[in-house]
Amino acid sequence: MPSRAASSTQSPPIPAGLTRAQLLEIYRYLRLTRTLEERLTALYRQSKVIGGLFRSLGQEGESVGSAYALARGPDPDILSPLIRNLGSMLVMGAEPIAILRQYMAKAEGPTRGRELNVHFNDLEKGYLGQISHLGDMVPVMAGIALSFKLRGEPRVGLVYVGDGATSTGTFHEGLNFAAVQKVPLVVIAEYNRWAYSTPPEKQFAVKDLVEKAKGYGIPAVTVDGNDVLAVYEATKLAVERARRGHGVQFVEVKTYRRKGHAEHDDQHYVPKDELDWWAKENDPVDRYVKQLGDRSGDRCLHRRAAAAGGICAGRCVRRPAGGTATLVPEPLMADVTYLEALRQGLWEEMERDPSVFILGEDVGAYGGAFKVTEGFAKKFGEARVIDTPISEAAIVGAAAGAAHMGMRPVAEMQFIDFISCAYDMLTNYVATARYRAGLATPIVVRGPCGGYVRGGPFHSQNPEAAFFHTPGLKIVYPATARDAKGLIKASIRDEDPVIYLEHKWLYRRIKHAEHDDQHYVPKDELDWWAKENDPVDRYVKQLVQHEWVEERELKAIDDRVKVEIDQATDACIDEPLPPGESALGGVYADPPAVPRHWYRSL
């Protein structure tokens, strides 16, 4: 059985500065959390809750106490809860009726039935819904906190993680990123004593979670998580330090998960006497009432909390901003290389829009591995051209968080091969944000790709096919200097995430007439290149006219376009870039995808 000494029932004095009204409000949130979950349990047993139900019984104190330390109202601090942090969302303004609709997957719910339980958000009230992948919200919240720092806003981010999540790589990458950037972020680490059915000794070798934070140079404290006021006081100090510019703060709350991982979990792996002790001797609500020494108001407050379930709900889905920019005139100027055109597009967008910033490995003083961002840090400052740790997941996660708050981040992958390290973040968090949460995520993830430069297997890849079938991602692959500039501008202005691929062999080998700073290319416009008598005997035994199509945004080619190629050339040949079958060309030319009526023209 875990040591009970870490959660003494002796409480510190009531923190100075809390009025009687605030103390009663804290109690209301504690009771409301428990009452609402009891109602959800009844609905779950009636099969009216869709999906799982995750109770916070015995842990309401740390959620309410920590969230109560944040700023609410206009321009609130932002928190990201876990599935058992319902109390923190109620503190920030989530309404019980919205939560009930969300759990029941109602069309009127915050996500209209697309997501479940507490996976929803309202940034105007101050909370960002999580995804199921443990640890992923740490770099995302680091990005939100980074946006506060870049804009000089006196706001703070707060992210909850469980003891199990601290074993994930994304947790460590996000924590290190946040520490290096000195962003105003508070991490509440819940020592639950059970990660599903795994006890701490099988999860990590350290005694306390604060030891993990201290390894990154982060100030960290441990507090009794079942003492509401102790959690409030520790979190308030951490929030104040973060708000004053002292960087990341880490608060470990020693608590106990008294229910199973979800309502279907019977907890057969937990000793019964252990559960009984925590319920009888260390319940956070009972301890709070005892600490206040004012039981006379208990019954009245209980009625008020139960009645709060009828509060009308507002819409919780943040509406994304409008569409993309439009085509503008394109006066011709001197010839420039592909790389210089790309640099110009980035530079001009940085000048045009102060919300645009660049982050990545060695993008600052060094100027990037291929010098795409050379001189940017000197011109725009290190606050907008950010050198990051080597962590693609943290780079993409931070970019997403900043984008949620209205920024326009451009994340560089030093070589696009390493985008695989951010695959989880891109496909499970970024790509799904608009669908599941109504969140615009206007980020650009760009980097050099392709071979012919003797880069070997890990610096020559074309990974576009890996993302091609991921709904929610746009893929751009310019083939000319003109498009390199126009499309980077279009991608930055887009309201959705864009993967921007740059074939490194083209960087200094092709040129095109330069355009002024208004040059902009719509991504869905197709280019036709007619090259007469181009030999393609690798595929056909005779010379034919080869009609080249450059598709700027990679997506399934419209049947109409394919038929036009077919009719113009009497053949439909696809030449994928290396590595052959795994590149996108193999997808375009997949025989099952060829309409039957084509064969009449072949």
pTM of the model as a whole: 0.78
Q: Which of 119, 261, 404, 459 is catalytic?
A: 459
Query: 468: number of CA atoms within 13 Å, CB side?
Result: 18
CB 355 within 8 A of CB 408: yes
Report the distance separating Cα 44 and Cα 42, nearest Å.
5
302 catalytic per annotation: no
Tokens describing residue 137 = 């919200």
Domain 18-310 has CATH 3.40.50.970: yes
Condensed to tens digits (0 to 9), the pLDDT of residues 496-535 reads 999 999 999 999 988 876 656 566 666 555 443 333 333 3
Name 493's Cβ contacts closer than 8 Å, sequence gap at least 6. Answer: 324, 325, 349, 408, 442, 520
Please report the pLDDT score of residue 552 as a whole number. 61
Our measurement of the distance from residue 23's CA atom to the centroid of its chain's CA atoms, rounded to an integer in Å, reads: 34
As a whole number of angstroms, the distance between CA 147 and CA 145 comes to 5
Percent of the chain with pLDDT over 90: 64
The total of other beta-carbon atoms located within 10 Å of residue 353's CB is: 13
Find out whether 318 and 122 touch, Cβ atoms under 8 Å: yes
pLDDT confidence of residue 326: 30
Q: Between vectors from CA 514 to CA 509 and to CA 518, what angle results, nearest 5°? A: 135
Q: Phi and psi for 225 in degrees, rounded to 5? A: -70, -15
* Segment 4-27, tens digit of pLDDT: 544 444 555 677 689 989 999 999
Q: Average the pLDDT over 325-350 and give the result.
A: 72
Which residue intervals of the chain bear CATH 3.40.50.970?
Answer: 18-310, 332-523
Helix residue ranges per DSSP H, 134-202 = 137-151, 169-181
Tell me the average pLDDT of the chain: 83
The tens digit of pLDDT for each residue in 34-71 reads 999 999 999 999 999 998 899 999 999 999 999 999 99
pLDDT digits (tens, 9 = 90+) for 65-102: 999 999 999 999 999 999 999 999 999 999 999 999 99
Calculate mean pLDDT across residues 1-6: 47
Superfamily of domain 332-523: Thiamin diphosphate (ThDP)-binding fold, Pyr/PP domains (3.40.50.970)
Higher pLDDT, 51 or 153: 153
Is a pLDDT exceeding 50 seen at residue 302?
no
